[in-house]
Amino acid sequence: MRAREAYWIAVGEVLDPEVPVLSVVDLGIVRDIREEADSVVVDVTPTYSGCPAMQVIESDIIAALRNAGASNVRVNTVFQPVWTTDWISEEARARLRSYGIAPPSGAAAVVTELIPLRRRVETIACPRCGSSNTEQRSEFGSTACKAIMFCNECREPFEYFKPI
């Protein structure tokens, strides 16, 4: 049991290489850590199907667990339940904001119609000046998980960790 806690702490220090203020535990992608025979098995669920950071994350998790005393580590990919940004904690959202990325709206589970002909207005506050006078430039940004926004108040672009 104590070893298991140490493993969680070690994995909690593995950062997302693309958003290095969030750990993989903050993101919610580490689903389980357990001991099986002579190995430590970590269940990880991917964020996006094609996220290129997943391979780096896997090898970082293996290295962190080896440092924490595990000799054999196996990363097991699980697909269900499917990852959602709703799993990102309030505390981690605050860290995202101070890093300059607007956190996800927390409404990923809300199902809207497939093709909204009238754009729904979702207010995303600027992480710099806090203004709600912002607009979306593109739902696709520098990484799969982010959209490009623009603040009409401070006239700066910013990134938005989009809900999914």
Partner 1 sequence: MQQPATGVTSLSEYLVRLGDDRLILGHRLSEWCGHGPILEEDIALANISLDLIGQANLLLELAGKAEGRGRNADALAYFREGVEFRNALMMELPRGDFGFTTARQFLVSVFEALHLERLQSSKEPELAGIAAKAYKETRYHVRHSAGWMLKLGDGSAESHQRVQNAIDDLWRFTGELFESDELERDLVKQGIAVDRASLRAAWKAEVAQVLQAATITMPDDGFMQRGGREGKHTEHLGHLLAEMQIVARSFPGAEW
Contact residues: partner 1, CB under 8 A: 46, 48-52, 78-80, 82-84, 108, 114-117, 137-142, 144, 148, 162, 164
* CB-nearer residue toward partner 1: 6 or 84: 84
* CB-nearer residue toward partner 1: 23 or 47: 47
Q: How far is the CB of 164 from partner 1 (least distance, A)?
A: 5
34 touches 41 (CB < 8 A) = yes
Q: How far is the CB of 102 from partner 1 (least distance, A)?
A: 17
Q: How far is the CB of 59 from partner 1 (least distance, A)?
A: 14
Tell me how far apart the alpha carbons of residues 162 and 8 are, in angstroms, rounded to a whole number. Answer: 27
- For 6, 13, 26, 32, 62, the CA distances from 69, given in Å and listed in that order, are 9, 15, 22, 18, 11
What the block records as the tokens of 73 is 């580590």
Tell me how far apart the alpha carbons of residues 128 and 99 are, in angstroms, rounded to a whole number. Answer: 9
Q: How far is the CB of 94 from partner 1 (least distance, A)?
A: 25
* CB-nearer residue toward partner 1: 25 or 148: 148
